[in-house]
Amino acid sequence: MHETEMPAQAYIDHLSWALAAHLVRICCKKQVSQNSVSGKIPAERLRAIDDYIDAHLAFDIGVRDLAKAAGYSPIYFSRLFRETMGIPPYQYLLEKRVAAVRNALFSSAQLADIALVTGFCNQEHMTRAFRKHHKITPGRYRREQAGLVAPKD
């Protein structure tokens, strides 16, 4: 790669990450508004939870953090969240992390870096979670999306 191409590639990578983060926010806000109709946690508090997750995705997020973002005690929050969303808070957080990984796979970032940016402790943990949700590894998903390998049946 020529020296003049390096800044362009960095700019493209930055735009890819920004787009991926934006898509995760849009996707998750739609999910919140659809799920909050039948639940007990008001939509604005669910949005506060999503905003907190989006802002802290790379960090260790616990039920206490989510409960504080929503304005509830941790025990009450866990029960209400499960009643509202149909899954426990940790499962919801994991699904948001996996969605962020899926979007980040369209960038040229290394898998280990994607794992850290999306809050997984390492690439192996990210791969296990991604495979559980999508029945395919992140590397293979990336290659299939790039058209480098034929999709599995």
pLDDT tier at 38 (50, 70, 90 boundaries)? very low
CA distance 31 to 61: 20
Name 9's Cβ contacts closer than 8 Å, sequence gap at least 6: 1, 108
pLDDT tier at 148 (50, 70, 90 boundaries)? confident
pLDDT digits (tens, 9 = 90+) for 109-123: 999 999 999 999 999
Examine the pLDDT at 35 and tell me if it is beyond 80: no
CA distance 7 to 14: 10
pLDDT tier at 86 (50, 70, 90 boundaries)? very high
Q: Is the pTM of this model over 0.75?
A: no
Query: Nearest 10 degrees: CA dihedral of 24, 29, 32, 37?
Result: -150
Query: How far is Cα of residue 14 from the mean position of the Cα atoms in its chain?
Result: 17
Q: Where are the domains of the chain?
A: 11-109
CA distance 44 to 101: 26
Give domain 11-109's CATH architecture.
Orthogonal Bundle (1.10)
CB atoms within 10 A of CB 19: 13
